[in-house]
Amino acid sequence: MSARRPGAASPHPYLGYAETIVAACLWGSSGIFAVHLFRRGVSPESVAFLRPVIGIGLLAAVLGVARPRALRIDSRALLVLGLGGGVAVGLFQVAYQLSIEAAGVPATVALLYLSPPLVALASGPLLGEWPGARRLVLVAVTVVGVWLSVMGAEDMRATFDWAGIGWGILAAVSYASYTLFGRYSAPRYGAVATAVYSTGSAGLVLAAVLPLLGRPVALPAGTAAWVLIVVFSVLTIAVAQLLFFDALGRVEASGVSVASAVEPVVAALLATTLLDQDLTPLGWLGIALVVSGVAGMGLTARPER
C-alpha cells in the first residue's frame, strides 16, 4: 500500500476490485451500527465525529509502530490531504449520519448511490478517465439495482422529506468528491497516508463545524455504547478506508464507485438475516442487477497505462 508513480501500470487491478468489495461489505453494516447507537442515546453528530477519530486514531497508532515510513509525507502533501481530504470526508460523515436520522437507512442508501453517475461524469474532465459507453451502461444498471433493492425491502419503507433529501444528496456529492480525491491522492502519496491524514483531518473539520451548527458532540454513556462505537470505527474506518484508498490507487474512480455499490446489497441481506425483514422479488431483482453491474466492471477492468 505504498505510493506509486501516477500513470504507472497498476498490477492486478482485480485486487483493487476485491478490496473495494470487502470495504463495501464492511460499510454495509453501518446502518445497523448507527441505528443501535442512536437507540442508546448517541446522537448522529457524535457518531459522525467519534467514528473517524477513533478509527483513524487506532489505525495511525498501529501503523506508527508497524510501518512508520508510510506515514511520512512532505508539507505539500499534508496540505493537500488535510484540506482536500479533510473537507470531503468530514462533510460526508456528518451528512450521512444526519440523513439516516432524518430519512432512515433505506432512503439514505438510495440517495447515497447517486454518487456513481457523478463520479463517472466527473472523472473524465478531472482525472482524464473517460468511461466508455459500456461502463456508463454498467453504472446505470448498478444504480437502478441499488434503488430496486432498497425499495424492495419489506418493512423498510424509504421516507423522503426535504431534510432527508438534502442530507442524502449532500452525502452523495461528498462521497463522490472523496472518491475522486482518493483517486488523485492514493497513487501519489500512498493509501496509508491518504487514509490517515484525510480522515484524521476530517475529525478536526467536524470538531470545528459541528458546534457552529448547534450540534455539540457528546461521549457515549455506558460500556455497551462504547464497545459498539469502537467496533464500528475499526471495521468501517480503520479497515475499510485503508482498503478503499488502496483500491483507488489501482482502479479507475468509476470502477471503484460502482464496486462499492455492494454496500446496500450487504445492508439489505443483513437486515433480512438479523432483523427478520424480508426482501420482495423487486428487492432480489435489484440485488441481481447490482451484482451484474459490479461483475461487469470487474470483467472490463484494465491495467492503467
User: With bands split at pLDDT 50, 70 and 90, how would you rate the model's confidence at 2?
Assistant: very low
Identify whether the C-beta of residue 103 lies closer than 8 Å to the C-beta of residue 163. yes
Average pLDDT over residues 221-228: 90
Mean residue pLDDT across the chain: 82
Q: How far apart are CA 210 and CA 82, in angstroms?
A: 18
Average pLDDT over residues 107-129: 86
Query: Which positions ≥6 away from 140 have C-beta within 8 Å?
Result: 117
Q: What is the pLDDT of residue 94?
A: 81
Q: What is the pLDDT of residue 11?
A: 52
- Cell numbers that stand for 106 in this block: 433505506
Identify whether the C-beta of residue 202 lies closer than 8 Å to the C-beta of residue 89. yes
User: With bands split at pLDDT 50, 70 and 90, how would you rate the model's confidence at 90?
Assistant: confident
Q: Determine phi and psi for 206, rounding to 5 degrees.
A: -65, -40
Q: Where are the domains of the chain?
A: 19-138+158-251
Average pLDDT over residues 264-293: 75
Name the more confident of 77 and 272: 77
